[in-house]
A = this chain, B = another copy of it.
């Protein structure tokens, strides 16, 4: 472990000068070029790396952010987190992974997030408002993938309405007019997708038949693939045996869509010849369906990029105003 004083001694300068050279990003602040070069050389020769703890203690910022995530095994979440790590690193920040459910267990006071982390990303779509407000009091918070909320925190989300709209446009262009929906009443993202579905349908001049929609009341656990899959499977079985079944189905996410596809195939029908099925999220499961699923791609990379950018801006400017970014998805 080589310290800055050792570097300074070897370079024949004081630790102040060494510090000045080593911490200055670009704007030189009055240090002779030769001195700077010398310090730089010695530092890299000795393999000097600043001690995170000491810097953090002194400057009162750790360049550490926490990512509060619930259900990392959810494919879309894991892709989002993966992208977020990269985006943060690119800006000189490291990411601390904190599970969310733990807060529900404990006194949910957020105290398990160590003092010293600069900011917190809350990623997922399950909202714990109490925790959010508490966290926002002492730290910068950026919500990723959450539904819009009225709080002084940064927010990045994908545009569900636009995604649904794109999907339904696509389906009507294929000639469908009887378009059903399968989803759940919660979490909020699914709820929003359903209302977007209703909304877009009326815009397109189509009627929504109640018997073409299945919105389950049971709230699936995050990351619980099986129950989502079987939700789609059962709902689809149900829809297919009814009179006058829909010719196309919009699903609230890919897992549900996979279930729906399998159910359709199990009854002997063809996808997409007999029924068109559209998913949402462009998660890995979408690639595991055969035939491949049509799906709305959540823009994980640009979401992560925006979130990280928003965080550094929040941290730099201390701007507490609630900034919101909505990103458009793409149809695959």
Contacts and interface: CB of A to CB of B under 8 A. Distances in A.
Contacts of A79: 72-73
Given A52-B116, A57-B54, A225-B284, A96 B99 contact: no
B115 A49 contact: yes
A78 B97 CA distance: 12
Interface stretch (A123-131, A160-168, A258-266): A258-266
**How many copies altogether?**
2
Given A52-B115, A53-B62, A82 B99 contact: yes
Nearest 4 CB-CB pairs, A to B? A53-B56, A262-B290, A53-B57, A78-B78
Contacts of A195: none
Interface string A1-44: 10000000000000000000000000000000000000000000
A208 interface: no
A88 B41 CA distance: 38
A98 B89 CA distance: 9
A116 B290 contact: no
Interface residues of A, number: 51
Interface in A61-95: 62, 64, 67, 72-73, 75, 78-79, 81-82, 85-86, 89, 94-95
A152 interface: no
A112 interface: yes
A89 B115 contact: no
Interface in A218-249: 225-226, 229, 233
29 contacts: A1-B115, A49-B114, A51-B57, A51-B115, A51-B116, A52-B53, A52-B62, A53-B53, A53-B62, A53-B116, A67-B97, A72-B78, A72-B79, A72-B82, A73-B75, A73-B82, A82-B99, A85-B98, A86-B99, A86-B102, A89-B99, A94-B96, A95-B96, A97-B97, A225-B287, A229-B287, A259-B288, A266-B290, A285-B288
A53 B85 CA distance: 22
A192 B312 CA distance: 45
Interface string A270-296: 000000000000001101111000000
A116 B266 CA distance: 55
A153 interface: no
A111 interface: yes
A312 B166 CA distance: 51
B114 A89 contact: no
A311 interface: no
B114 A94 contact: yes
Contact of A284 (B54, B116, B262, B285): B285
A204 interface: no
A50 interface: yes
A307 interface: no
A52 B114 contact: yes
Contacts of A86: 99, 102
